[in-house]
């Protein structure tokens, strides 16, 4: 989950960094303009769209563990480039690489977690993934404003180092992948270490994994299979719709420019404090929803989240609309962007 934490950092990294690129202590050789600022923030998402295709393919070819280790490579190269360059074009390159790694995280880490966890605790581990992403988003909000760009970037590199060391030494390959590649003894050993099973129980689980994969092999039909069945079409539309709504909600823009947004409001609350407060609220919300997910259900929480996001973005847009038109009483609504 340190990998999920590092992926979360990428989404809010620009919030404390972009204001520094306009200042006297900017690491860049020339100040950036609005279009360059926008591209630095948004190009991460371009990389995140590429990552799932690249690392999803590798996950089936070289295994989940090796793929997760390889995901760290573009992230390390990206953050190191951002730490030491003075050229805005290399900022684009660094953010693109970091985005490619982040996109791979959400694809392969989810796959790996689902394959190494038992049925009864799989949902809990999925929630932990969300918690670590939220903590990663909070990290730049809380310390990014107090460090130089170089030191801040190098501090973002530390979780990747810890991940590489511990994951290499202690994490097993996915039992499902081991069975798929006919490495049955290794799959038994992995199941024993992961779930504290006896040799007999592990052998039974390997047999069940073989049965499931044989069944999947018979019904495998590629991408076209998604649209042949009414059930799979509906599932695809719902899943794609949720992702589209999430991306078009404006969450990435708000997260990436949050410090600039609060600075533009002219609020008496320091922008760094306001962004940290938002990050803390996000982490707390993830904890709360994780504990309620089994009681209230996924659909209810998704609907509540969508309505809350819609209300917040409407209020934020309304505030800046009134700010642009110099609404006289706006000073009494300084709290609106934070809320």
Q: What digits encode the pLDDT tens for the residues 161-213? A: 999 999 999 999 999 999 999 899 999 999 998 888 888 988 988 898 888 88
What percent of the chain clears pLDDT 90, i.e. is strictly above it? Answer: 47
d(CA 16, CA 336): 21
On the question of pLDDT at 237 being above 80, the answer is yes
In terms of DSSP H, where are the helices of 105-121?
110-116
Ranking 93-97, 112-116, 242-246, 260-264 by mean pLDDT, the lowest is: 242-246
Whether the CB-CB separation of 125 and 1 falls below 8 Å is answered with no
Q: Which two tokens stand for residue 202?
A: 């592990």
> 234: burial class by Cβ within 10 Å (0-12, 13-18, 19+)?
exposed
- How many helices (H) does the chain have, and how many strands (E)? 16, 0
Delineate the domains of the chain, giving CATH numbers in brackets. Answer: 1-171 (1.20.1250.20), 173-231 (no CATH), 257-339 (no CATH)
Cα torsion through 263, 139, 249, 105, rounded to 10: 150
Give the whole-angstrom CA distance, residue 319 versus residue 28.
Answer: 33
269: which DSSP letter? S
pLDDT exceeds 70 at position 327: yes
Q: Do 217 and 210 form a contact (C-beta atoms < 8 A)?
A: no
- Look at residue 293 and tell me whether its pLDDT is greater than 70: yes
Average pLDDT over residues 251-260: 88
CA–CA distance, 166 with 6 (Å, rounded to integer) = 15
Whether 108 and 64 have beta carbons less than 8 Å apart is answered as: yes
d(CA 44, CA 247): 13
Map tokens 């919030």 to a residue.
15
Residues 6+ apart with CB under 8 A from 25: 148
- pLDDT one-digit tens code per residue, 130-168: 899 999 999 999 999 899 999 999 999 899 999 999 999
pLDDT at 225: 64
The C-alpha torsion from 100 through 105 and 110 to 115, rounded to 10°, is: 110
Largest CA distance in the chain: 75
Q: Tell me which residue of 131, 139, 99 sits closest to 17, measured CA to CA.
A: 139
Nearest of 84, 87, 98 to residue 151 by alpha carbon: 84
Helix axis angle, 64-84 to 2-12, nearest 10°: 40
- Say how many C-beta atoms besides its own lie within 10 A of residue 225's C-beta: 11
3-state secondary structure of 28: coil
Cβ atoms of 153 and 79 within 8 Å: the answer is: yes
């Amino acid at each position: 989950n340190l990998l999920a934490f590092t992926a979360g950092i990428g989404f809010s990294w620009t919030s404390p960094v972009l204001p520094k690129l306009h200042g006297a202590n900017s690491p860049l050789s020339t100040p950036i303009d609005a279009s360059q600022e926008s591209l630095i923030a948004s190009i991460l998402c371009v990389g995140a769209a590429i990552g799932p295709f690249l690392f999803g393919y590798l996950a089936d070819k070289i295994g989940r563990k090796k793929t997760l280790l390889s995901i760290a490579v573009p992230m390390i190269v990206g953050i190191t480039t951002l730490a030491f360059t003075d050229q805005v074009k290399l900022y684009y390159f660094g953010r693109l690489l970091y985005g490619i790694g982040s996109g791979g995280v959400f694809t392969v880490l989810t796959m790996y977690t689902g394959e190494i966890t038992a049925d009864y605790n799989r949902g809990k581990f999925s929630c932990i993934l969300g918690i670590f992403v939220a903590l990663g988003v909070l990290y730049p909000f809380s310390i990014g404003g107090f460090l130089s760009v170089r030191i801040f970037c190098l501090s973002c590199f530390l979780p990747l180092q810890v991940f590489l060391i511990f994951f290499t030494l202690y994490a097993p390959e996915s039992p499902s992948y081991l069975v798929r590649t006919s490495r049955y003894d290794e799959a038994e050993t992995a199941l024993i270490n992961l779930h504290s099973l006896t040799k007999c129980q592990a052998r039974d689980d390997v047999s069940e994994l073989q049965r499931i994969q044989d069944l999947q092999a018979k019904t495998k039909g590629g991408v076209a299979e998604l649209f042949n069945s009414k059930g799979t079409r509906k599932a695809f539309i719902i899943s794609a719709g949720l992702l589209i709504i999430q991306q078009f909600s404006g969450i990435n823009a708000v997260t990436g420019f949050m410090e600039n947004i609060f600075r533009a409001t002219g609020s008496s609350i320091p922008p760094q404090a306001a962004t940290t407060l938002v990050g803390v609220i996000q982490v707390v919300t993830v904890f709360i929803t994780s504990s309620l997910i089994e009681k209230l259900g996924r659909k209810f929480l998704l609907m509540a989240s969508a309505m809350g996001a819609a209300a917040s973005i409407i209020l934020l847009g309304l505030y800046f609309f009134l700010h642009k038109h110099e609404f006289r009483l706006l000073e009494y609504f300084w709290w609106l962007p934070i809320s």
